[in-house]
Structure 1
């Protein structure tokens, strides 16, 4: 039963990763926390294990989703190369900062940003037509911010990067494909940070490698990698306008979930 629950969460995340490029952490983390509580994991470690295991699973989900988008020519590899140094630095730093600081303030900022970005997509607020991508330094700074915030809240980064890229007039499907691909460097460094941060921590459940819990990671990975290509195929078959609205609606629900979590304390 526990394997089935984790596989169902992984399937949901994999499908939306392929469809919208969203790595899934903003959805996966709260679902995983509930599942871990039902499973009886130590309460003092549940949050860190949920984030660490979610970040680790993103690497596999992103690989499957990226390959599917690449086959449709929707991954901007040059842009990804410019973002990667910042993603690596920010992802590694965020994995440690998440263990030292309360993340309520970050969740507030993230919820406000997601709410604004989703509203802009629903009402089709257009960026200035002359606006293009920033230079190398600007892209490195953008990558650092996305990498750090993503790893701190256990998200894949696309929920932050896709709205930013569309603001710079990157075509929406290319923004989704590139957003899916950034999960790879973020998850790589974030996983290392969560593993190292939890090594030697007393009271971790059996099967834990640092803050990554393998009994949940395995079904997450299997199910998400199976469903990610299906979501990616669908994203290239629906009209771009519909896809934008689905993405915006999903982001808006994430913002509400974050606000509700904060209101409950």
Structure 2
């Protein structure tokens, strides 16, 4: 990269990645959506702009996002834990199934084309944006599913698709939990802990599936772009607690609506890329 781009451009790219990490960290703590929902589209467009081949660009974006979620989720979860916002019983019940699902998602990346990952991200992000924009949250029941099949499928689904999208637990688990009348602050706090359970096995799966694959950016570990990951989480790890503190002091309804609009447009752009 240093042979192709000027030093000033590389510095600008670095600052852009740090800014992305800062915004992603705040959103992870504030909205419980997971910073990956911001990081993945930014990295996907950035890698495409830098000339990373389309065949690997989405894999690298997803894998790098997962790597950044590891320190961010630790920071965010610690902040929520100090406020008593993590449900220990739910964490113990769902974490093993989410872990297995996330590992499966990471390993599946070896056989899913970049356009397939882009399509998965676009479809689910579109649904999430619509859900966030609704004036009233969807309520499916007064309690979490109790049947053995449902109790296994729900966290497993969250693990698999969070891994394939490069996101933490919040984007899928918070709307799922609140749909079953789970208190929103405890949903956001517990989702922060789910982020770590997702990111570690999923990132390892992407490292394995991308090992030795050609055309990846320089200094990549499997599909994980180490320089991009370091720059992003160097900011997000500090800003996630800021978002967490804000989440406990205000009603972020307007911010959610603005973010839903951003996510909606991002999803449409990624769907166009996948289907075009």
User: Structure 2-normalised TM-score?
Assistant: 0.85
Contact 1:103 1:153 in 2 (8 A): yes
Residues of 2 paired with 1:126 and 1:23: CA distance? 20
**Structure 1 residues 108 and 174, CA, compared in 2 at 3 Å: closer, same or farther?**
same
Residues of 1 paired with 2:59 and 2:209: CA distance? 10
Give the number of aligned pairs: 259
What SS is found at the alignment partner of 2:34? coil
**Structure 1 residues 125 and 18, CA, compared in 2 at 3 Å: closer, same or farther?**
closer
Aligned ranges 1:27-38 → 2 under 5 Å: 27-38=38-49
Shift of 1:26: 2.1
Shift of 1:34: 2.4
- For 1:224, the equivalent position in structure 2 comes to 236
The Cα offsets for residues 49-108 of structure 1, whole Å up to 9 and x where unpaired, read as 111111111111111111111111111121111111221111111113234232365346
Contact 2:41 2:266 in 1 (8 A): no
Q: Structure 1 residue aligned with 2:106, among 95, 99, 103?
A: 95
- For 1:124, the equivalent position in structure 2 comes to 136
Residues of 2 paired with 1:218 and 1:157: CA distance? 21
Residues of 2 paired with 1:248 and 1:145: CA distance? 26
Q: Do structure 1's residue 170 and structure 2's residue 170 form an aligned pair?
A: no
**Structure 1 residues 207 and 113, CA, compared in 2 at 3 Å: closer, same or farther?**
same
- For 2:171, the equivalent position in structure 1 comes to 159
Q: Structure 2 residue aligned with 1:205, among 217, 222, 226?
A: 217
Residues of 1 paired with 2:88 and 2:123: CA distance? 29
Q: Mean alpha-carbon deviation: is it higher for 135-144 or for 49-58?
A: 135-144
**Structure 1 residues 112 and 52, CA, compared in 2 at 3 Å: closer, same or farther?**
closer
Aligned ranges 1:36-55 → 2 under 5 Å: 36-55=47-66
Residues of 1 paired with 2:174 and 2:260: CA distance? 11
Q: Mean alpha-carbon deviation: is it higher for 27-36 or for 59-68?
A: 27-36
- For 2:264, the equivalent position in structure 1 comes to 255
Q: Mean alpha-carbon deviation: is it higher for 153-162 or for 29-38?
A: 29-38
**Structure 1 alignment gaps of length 5 or more:** none
Shift of 1:163: 0.9
Residues of 1 paired with 2:216 and 2:59: CA distance? 11
- For 1:185, the equivalent position in structure 2 comes to 197
What SS is found at the alignment partner of 1:134? coil
Shift of 1:246: 3.3
What SS is found at the alignment partner of 1:74? coil
Contact 2:52 2:215 in 1 (8 A): no
Residues of 2 paired with 1:6 and 1:91: CA distance? 25
Residues of 2 paired with 1:45 and 1:260: CA distance? 18
- For 2:5, the equivalent position in structure 1 comes to none
Residues of 2 paired with 1:58 and 1:113: CA distance? 22
